[in-house]
Structure 1
């Protein structure tokens, strides 16, 4: 049994199929429905089924199938126009435009046939009395496609000059086409301005703003409006992703990623749509798609990734270089077919130009994560700017001088400079001092693995006659043992160098710099237990660390101006004291000492060393609630780090700053820093850890800014990495909660319900159940909006039980009211709805007596008034369904009177609610044919507002409604 037994069941089936996702399954169902319509032997049924078939073909990858049902429709029209009702007559003429575009997309259809069809369209439109606007738009499309610019400009002008009528495309589609032409002619500002009403939501349709968002991407990049381009990509891709028919717009998003340094994301987009490589229903969009694939693969090959495996046509494995050759060949072959049909070279020229486009920005952070490098190649990471290099060909003496200059000044890249010396010195027979410094700096680059090499450097320093530096190298060897976790062994190892260097220094056998190196190494070792402790630190450990740091300060006191290294030791020692103070609970002293450490490094010309302590200073300021000080410290840290700041540190600073700014209510700035944090986390290879936190924060900030689609994309990306094990289930719940809010705002209610239910299931296990109750309630709202009434009722019941257990009457009352409305919507009758609303009233009346304070009691009383108000509305709605049941109307009126009484007791604070209920009652009086009573109520509203203060220049809707009601009652 098919279920199609009459015309009405056919129409229901057509409507249901129209709601299904685009694709072959929907098309196949439309074909079945046509066969069912033919069996009904009703001409209009066949006409509607053919129209439906034509529509689903148009909005799919099988556009080439449109021509057969249209030809049949047109023949039926010519033979029996009386079989078409008004709507189908309109639809038949409307889809003439689809035929013109569809023919252009098929290179096997001769241009002469298209021109003839254009003339047929013009003739039939004239006969039907339609404007030539749609005809001129279609002519413009033909001329633009074949590259006849002069004709296209004439048709464009005639299109805009003609009157708009029922056959004109919607405003959104027209503006998209007009903007597209401006962009094609190199007039990007004019294009973006034409698209603005569509992009801002003033106009829209089934495919807009989808295509306008996609078309705007490159013009915005060319104009330098990168933030808008990023937002349009996130918004627009979310719209085109589920729509099979939008291959050309999808290609625009792939192209945007390829030209903005987001090659890895571009590959992910290709992987989502394998059918796009081979679907032949619309050759023009296939050509566009393959041209963009070529562009992307050439870009990857240029980056040295030509051998990487990439998504491609099914049946084999593709490397980037191989797919580039294949896609170019197919795109050029399709372009050649179009040019042969058109008698021009325009399509081929445009296709080759597109494949040759160059990146418009080096790397535009998008806020969403791309696949790991193993799955998809990422663009080269941004590295900190290197110090100016002297070529190794300059000679060993120059390299040595440069390396010593950098290391003496504690400059970045000193280790790399000594590595260059080592490479140039192979076989050069350097003296012991030179070899000692090479070994010393090589060890510095090895971290905990460098102990043995430090010892070798110490031997060479001793051989060179520098016992102080030899002891300093041994102290460094001891410290890296502490870094490897052997603090006790490190303390033992540093003991002898420490005692000997102090003695040597007292005898003036070495300088203060070498002595300070040993003393600071010992202090660093003693600081390790302080820095690594998970809980309280024993007093003796803190005391030992503090004593060692103060020894450093005493040693370098008065000498910091003469030696940058000594100034650095002074600043580091103060930072150690700050950490000791923080561990001891003296946060005020810690903040002051971190500040002095930062000032010391900056004053010594070593600002990059100040970054870590600036971040700690910010954390302390944030902890004590001084957000302004925290912001200053973080901005200073970013500035101090400059180009020398590594990606992980940069990510953390931006993330901290985003948190601070978000707390200050500066969501736009905060979102910018969260975006940067996500970008630098990805660059550092920490997408799944730090990047997930950054994306979660960014998603929440975008939600706060009302950028629902962008926020949803970012949060979905964050949830790929957020996990209860790695980030805590609170982070997962928050991300799903925010995502549910976004999806609700976007009208994706079923998906919103899924996310909210997932979050509620996690929160169900928490000791505190407030979040569980709230999420269950929100999920019920989403289920209700999605039309899943039984599921919504169950979710509201669950939420109600939770609100009751939490002694939260507001939530309980609202869940009962929502269930009452659901009962009415489900068609179960008014009795069940009345029972639930009465239960809500019972809870309202009981709650104020147990409320703890006057404010809470007033709010609960307001809830009582609101429940009476909704009860009246519900009964009135039920009465309307039942041919104006006067008994129900009277009952509704009684509930509204109760609402008025409650709001009156609440006084001026509830004036608007009182007026609203009184006016609702007045309209019921008119339904009951009691105009005098209605007028009396309207006068009460006007009297209530007589003494109320006027809003500044704003009309009072309740006063206006009361006056309108009075005019109506006077007429009656």
Structure 2
């Protein structure tokens, strides 16, 4: 082979592993042109086959017909140029061309049918089964809507013999399942796909396609957990792959029909180039149909004016994209119908575009930007308060009844009280009924307290309410309302004016209370709000501890006051409030036990008062405290209690946080199955609350970790990838490092070592700044392992050197030894500078282990170090044998190979004498036996094998059976008259 031909062969190998798409296609075209210049016909064949493959797995499949026709002509003219592999490739690609023609409406049906006849003829001449021919006939019949012919072809296809030309079993099961799905037989479809989904069969594009096909059937069957998992697994596999556009479309459609429109938009945004342009018409029809389902759903939800992804720099609204997409779909479908002489394709498209949602919302666990609120519609957007008014009107309720109901809810401290008072205000506005000052004050008071997220507006409402209370002669409530206004003032601006206002309100209430013109509940409420204002200033105090102690004393005084009037109306609730606040202060000074007791008591008091829904705060605080201080069991119990007590009225944000606390606690106790379920719900509610960055990021981190530990690496990777942006934006470094660490582990399981190494290295860059370097060392070592698996030798050696230095600084000898040994094997594999460098690394590992063993006093530590030293000797022996350029024997004229083997035997012998475990010792003994045999010392080899047999005797077990079998192999080898060196 000439130098030029050799370079082209290398380039072809590199291009075969390149990413599918136009870049790979262009390179394949260049290599065909270069191969033509060499005059090497087999090389040209190889280049043409590679070009056809590149086109097949891209959006330029139409281009493969020309090079394939050329290959066919070359076969007919010069079959002697085709070796066995080339003959196989030619007939294999025949299937691609014959079925590929179906996807182009400008290729007449008669041409396709003639091609199928020709395929059958050539397969028969080649001695191949007609199974692939029948499969292609089935595909054509199904596409044209001739279901009777399709059924006949399906039966003939599945009955025909399988041989080397048959599609892989995964692809066949794909088609069999899709047949059932088209007939509405979802159970049979999923059953057909089950072996592919379980990983029993796979290929270059499976399970990618089956995962996508299974989504909607699984949802229709109510198997939503499996549908979610298949979406998370499948989209990672299909993403960005031009040949899988229909599968990507199915993921978009799945999102559109399960309440995940925002997720669908994100997927569409990653593939906008395919909304317009070239490509296989049938594949484009599949993809555009899914896009249309999504934008139709958006417009139905009132988001027709929303900007959506579009090719290039253009922007379009959902409504505009829908018009353009449906026009293209109509044109493409018409082309196929005209070619096929049926309306099958347009009917299928119409049915697909008419799809209605299968679920309101299926939480997926991955981050998606929340859609804005629906466009306002007067008839549909009535507030809950308006609904309450309308309901009351229907029943004939008057304003007096509405006020009575609102006061009843207020006294019970129900969350619905605010909406009831809004209903009162709106009812008065609608009827033109003037409200007396007391009712006006109550409406404004509740509106102000409910609107504290807008402090200036709340302050204005509460100030007006205080004036109206006073006008109504309710001086105690007026002063208490001024205390609430002071709290709003503190939220709106500087604390000092707010504290002055709070002091004034409290002083007035004390005077009124002494005269029995203000209730204990009013006074203690104002005192607690003042304490909360002061609590917010502790961080700016010159002496924070003293300031915190002062606030704690103030709250304790409130408790004493409230306890003295415990039997008064609603004071028990104030005692609970004060106890909960005291718990926060006690926790702040590190008294975890005292804080836990306070939160527990606060919850019990609220329940004693007959208001279990208000006990949520105490349980939630207890859960948070326990989680942060290493008591996940208490955290889980308290979080569950809070969720139960708050059922039906928790805000989405509060619901999300409690679910995530529970999920974290469950994960910390090893209950990963339930942890994953709760974290999934937490992420869903965080998105509903618009808190996807903060709580949502944490929930997804917990979910990803649980899925990783459950062995669901693909799902975990998808979740962690979407969590990372939020974790980087809104969370501490520890969570970012943990996410990258878990993601790296997942990527290793998914056979993506290069990407895994990147995650470990990024995490290590953060951890290197930490005072404690254990994580840094672990991550450096993990990165080295991943780089090693990726075959990136130079980078792996550097990473192992870094890990070795870090482990030495930490005094972790076993890890140092492992890093050195791994580096030695890379040096041997890379041959830079070969055996000497590998030998030096192994020698360093042995010295390190021996020195640590000599210095160790703890017996357990000594056992571990002894095993490390023995492992190093054994691996040194194996490395020397593997790296030796020759073998002992007649060709070893200078005895250099024999010397290396003798040295290897010495190291292996040291391993035998150093190991403490019989199983390890016997394994080393067998390695030594083979080396003895290689050196021609058959008796010594046999003695070592018989020693192993004696060690195990008649013992039962897998290890014993394996050792006896290996020893038997050695003995059989030594009995051969002219035994070649052992493998």
Q: Tell me the TM-score range normalised by the shorter chain.
A: over 0.9
Aligned equivalents of 1:352 and 1:955: distance in 2?
66
**Please, what TM-score do these two structures have when normalized by structure 1?**
0.92
Number of residue pairs matched?
Answer: 950
CA, structure 1 residues 906+376, in 2 after alignment: closer, same or farther (shift >3 Å)? farther
Aligned equivalents of 1:896 and 1:130: distance in 2?
53
**Conserved? CA contact 1:474–1:497, under 8 Å:** no
Aligned equivalents of 1:905 and 1:14: distance in 2?
50
Tell me what 2:773 maps to: 769
CA, structure 1 residues 847+895, in 2 after alignment: closer, same or farther (shift >3 Å)? farther
Aligned equivalents of 2:148 and 2:954: distance in 1?
68
**Conserved? CA contact 1:526–1:548, under 8 Å:** no
2:465 to 453, 457, 461: 457
Aligned equivalents of 1:693 and 1:537: distance in 2?
34
Say whether residues 1:600 and 2:605 are aligned partners.
yes
| Partner-residue secondary structure (3-state), 1:95 | helix
2:551 to 541, 545, 552: 541
Deviations 1:783-816 (A, max 9, x none): 2222221222222222222223333222222222
Aligned equivalents of 2:463 and 2:764: distance in 1?
59
Aligned equivalents of 2:674 and 2:382: distance in 1?
25
Q: How does 1:415-430 map to 2 (within 5 A)?
A: 415-426=418-429, 427-430=432-435
Say whether residues 1:573 and 2:581 are aligned partners.
no
Deviations 1:733-792 (A, max 9, x none): 222222222222222222222222222222233333332222222222222222221222
Tell me what 1:808 maps to: 812
Deviations 1:678-715 (A, max 9, x none): 22222222222222222223222222222222222222
CA, structure 1 residues 898+873, in 2 after alignment: closer, same or farther (shift >3 Å)? closer
CA, structure 1 residues 317+881, in 2 after alignment: closer, same or farther (shift >3 Å)? farther
Tell me what 1:752 maps to: 756
Aligned equivalents of 2:615 and 2:175: distance in 1?
54
Gaps of 5+ in 1: none
Tell me what 2:980 maps to: none
Aligned equivalents of 2:599 and 2:189: distance in 1?
53
Say whether residues 1:731 and 2:738 are aligned partners.
no
**Conserved? CA contact 1:862–1:903, under 8 Å:** no
**Conserved? CA contact 1:386–1:413, under 8 Å:** no
Which is worse superposed, 344-353 or 879-888? 879-888
Say whether residues 1:473 and 2:471 are aligned partners.
no
Q: How does 1:337-352 map to 2 (within 5 A)?
A: 337-352=335-350
Tell me what 2:711 maps to: 706
Give the drift of 1:87: 0.9
Aligned equivalents of 1:4 and 1:296: distance in 2?
55
1:782 to 771, 780, 786: 786
Deviations 1:271-303 (A, max 9, x none): 212221124230001011111111111111111
Deviations 1:412-447 (A, max 9, x none): 221122112112212312333322322322332333
**Conserved? CA contact 2:925–2:948, under 8 Å:** yes
1:278 to 272, 276, 279: 276
Which is worse superposed, 638-647 or 619-628? 619-628
Tell me what 2:944 maps to: 937
Say whether residues 1:336 and 2:334 are aligned partners.
yes
Q: How does 1:260-409 map to 2 (within 5 A)?
A: 260-314=258-312, 316-371=314-369, 389-391=388-390, 393-394=393-394, 395-409=398-412
| Partner-residue secondary structure (3-state), 2:648 | helix
2:635 to 630, 654, 659: 630
Aligned equivalents of 1:577 and 1:784: distance in 2?
55
Give the drift of 1:718: 2.0
| Partner-residue secondary structure (3-state), 2:312 | coil
Aligned equivalents of 2:307 and 2:886: distance in 1?
63
**Conserved? CA contact 1:387–1:413, under 8 Å:** no
CA, structure 1 residues 623+284, in 2 after alignment: closer, same or farther (shift >3 Å)? closer
| Partner-residue secondary structure (3-state), 1:389 | helix
Aligned equivalents of 1:431 and 1:54: distance in 2?
85
Aligned equivalents of 1:768 and 1:526: distance in 2?
38
Give the drift of 1:89: 0.8
1:217 to 215, 218, 223: 215
| Partner-residue secondary structure (3-state), 2:884 | helix
Aligned equivalents of 1:188 and 1:881: distance in 2?
62
Give the drift of 1:310: 0.7
Say whether residues 1:521 and 2:529 are aligned partners.
no
**Conserved? CA contact 1:482–1:489, under 8 Å:** no
| Partner-residue secondary structure (3-state), 1:323 | helix
Aligned equivalents of 2:591 and 2:645: distance in 1?
26
Tell me what 2:414 maps to: 411
CA, structure 1 residues 410+600, in 2 after alignment: closer, same or farther (shift >3 Å)? same
Deviations 1:141-170 (A, max 9, x none): 111111111221221122221111111001
Deviations 1:195-239 (A, max 9, x none): 222222221111111111111111122122222222211211111
Tell me what 2:511 maps to: 500
Deviations 1:442-500 (A, max 9, x none): 33233344344334334433443444434443443344445553453144222343223
| Partner-residue secondary structure (3-state), 1:734 | helix
| Partner-residue secondary structure (3-state), 1:754 | helix
Q: How does 1:673-684 map to 2 (within 5 A)?
A: 673-684=678-689
Deviations 1:363-388 (A, max 9, x none): 222222224658999xxxx9999998
Which is worse superposed, 171-180 or 873-882? 873-882
Aligned equivalents of 1:602 and 1:968: distance in 2?
81
Give the drift of 1:584: 5.7
Gaps of 5+ in 2: 376-380, 978-983
Tell me what 2:101 maps to: 103
Aligned equivalents of 1:831 and 1:384: distance in 2?
80
| Partner-residue secondary structure (3-state), 2:242 | coil
Aligned equivalents of 1:187 and 1:475: distance in 2?
67
| Partner-residue secondary structure (3-state), 2:647 | helix
1:137 to 135, 138, 149: 135
Which is worse superposed, 106-115 or 238-247? 238-247
Tell me what 1:822 maps to: 826
Aligned equivalents of 2:646 and 2:200: distance in 1?
45
Tell me what 2:962 maps to: 957
Aligned equivalents of 2:702 and 2:960: distance in 1?
40
Tell me what 2:44 maps to: 46
